[in-house]
Chain A
Amino acid sequence: MGLLRWARAVSPWILHFNTGACNACDIEVVAALTPRFDVERFGALKVGSPRHADILVVTGPVTRESEPRLRRLYEQMPEPKLVMAVGTCAISGGVFAGCYNVRGGVINVLGKADMMVPGCPPRPEAILEGLIKLVERLRGIKKR
């Protein structure tokens, strides 16, 4: 299955979903696609349809309003699928944790987050590093 592992590792297509972020993390995620950082070097494409995606990139605390949508997007993605939480809010709810309208981080809703990138907002380099580490895990390479 080496070939399959390699194929999955060099072609991570991402779907970006904002669950209620302040837009800072979103700008950083989009910046990762731009010429300066160019996430396509690693084979990543930003796709529009959850049916085409491999990695769900979530930014922002999960609000009550966005919770069912996040669940549905995740369910619409075909297996094997991964979740990446970008920013402190997506990890734990951040400063919004405990608010009446916030359910917490992605892990509180989906029960999993394969990679967490902390920061408020994380720099594009940090997002790229998170993606690369996730991809290396797919490939079965263990680094420190």
Chain B
Amino acid sequence: MVLSLNDLIAMLIFPGFFFLILMAFFLEWLDRKVVAKVQDRYGPLMAGPAGILQPIADFIKLLSKEDIVPRGANKVLLTAGPILMVALPLTALLFVPIDGQSAIVDFEGSLIAVLFILILTTQLVLLIGWASANVFAAEGSMRSALQMLSYEIPLALTAICPALMAGSLSLSEIYRAQAELGWPFLAYLPPLGAISFLVFLTCSLAELERVPFDAPEAETEIVAGWMTELTGRRLALVKLGRNLDFLLMASLMASLYLGDPITPSLPLLAPAAFILKTLACAGIMSFARGLVARFRIDQALRLFWTYIIPISVGVLVATKLALLLA
């Protein structure tokens, strides 16, 4: 395979690594600002215009701090974990059509690959927590693993619904199929697409360990959960990785549910429209953080196993039936 200059630019600058990392920082700023607005505060204000450089300042500061590995902790895992934490979502983001037309790496089955990478990220959380040799970290990672057992099933089931409609497992293909359909999958056979979207949104919140499913890092109960023992560079990388995860889930939502018939054929508007959709999805998730309280881990499990999983199975069956009858 020959790499052309265009491929290299796409990979490294837009819509590749440079853009994705900047976008991840921007999303953290947006998240903090939205939550601050909900709580009638200003949020970050001093770092750059309107505090937009705040996440970058945090990142640089954390990089420069002392690096502590507690006695008894597994140094190899604590080093490899944060690096993989950044590398995995970055890889998955290459499969998402960020430029609104086609992903950098596009193949039949990229949706499955992304779902697989999401599971791997949670496994990493488990490994980091266990390697930290700290009771709070262990407790946090156990909660994270427990939560994964509940949200992973409906997440995959609902992500399959748009794929069924498109007849393809490639994310770019699903995005394009909605253009051919004429409207986003969100509005598909109302309220079928909308229910599917809501279930996917709930599972994304759980996947990202965000409020109301942030029991794995519940600050008021278990210090900082599985991140308790991370300092300096390790914490900086983990935070960046989690922002990339946030970007990944928001862009997944945009590509699975928010395709539209007009923009994908226009060269400049397509990336802009896709990024706006991603920001809207991220905004919804940030808004939820300002609005709701935390579920206890058993409440979260009960919610998923008694309500969300049956609903997701129902939505999947209904979508298949609708396609058969159409």
Contacts and interface: CB of A to CB of B under 8 A. Distances in A.
A3 B45 CA distance: 18
Contacts of A7: 56-61, 64
Contact of B230 (A3, A4, A6, A51): A51
B65 interface: yes
B223 interface: yes
Contact of B36 (A3, A8, A40): A40
A32 to B, nearest CB: 12
A49 B46 contact: no
B47 A51 contact: no
Contacts of A76: 68
Contacts of B43: 38, 40-41
A34 to B, nearest CB: 8
Interface string B39-70: 11111111100010110111111001111100
Interface string B224-244: 100111111001000000000
Nearest to A37: B41
Contacts of B219: 47-48
A55 to B, nearest CB: 12
A41 B224 contact: no
A40 B44 contact: yes
Interface residues of B, number: 36
Interface string A15-29: 000000000000000
A96 interface: no
A111 interface: no
B231 A52 contact: yes
Interface residues of A, number: 23
A79 B220 CA distance: 25
Contacts of A35: 39-41
A41 B41 CA distance: 8
Given A10-B54, A43-B47, A51 B229 contact: yes
B47 A48 contact: no
A101 interface: no
By Cβ-Cβ distance, the 8 closest A-B pairs, closest first, are A78-B66, A7-B60, A49-B224, A48-B219, A10-B47, A79-B66, A41-B45, A38-B41
Interface of A: 3-4, 6-8, 10-11, 35, 38, 40-43, 47-49, 51-52, 54, 76, 78-80
B143 interface: no
Contacts of B51: 41, 43
A18 B218 CA distance: 20
A78 B231 contact: yes
Contact of B44 (A6, A43, A54): A43
Given A7-B58, A8-B64, 8 more contacts: A10-B53, A41-B42, A43-B44, A48-B228, A51-B230, A52-B224, A52-B235, A54-B61
A6 B56 CA distance: 11
Contacts of B220: 48
A42 B47 CA distance: 8
A65 B64 CA distance: 34
A11 B39 CA distance: 21
Given A10-B46, A35-B41, A78-B231, A48 B58 contact: no
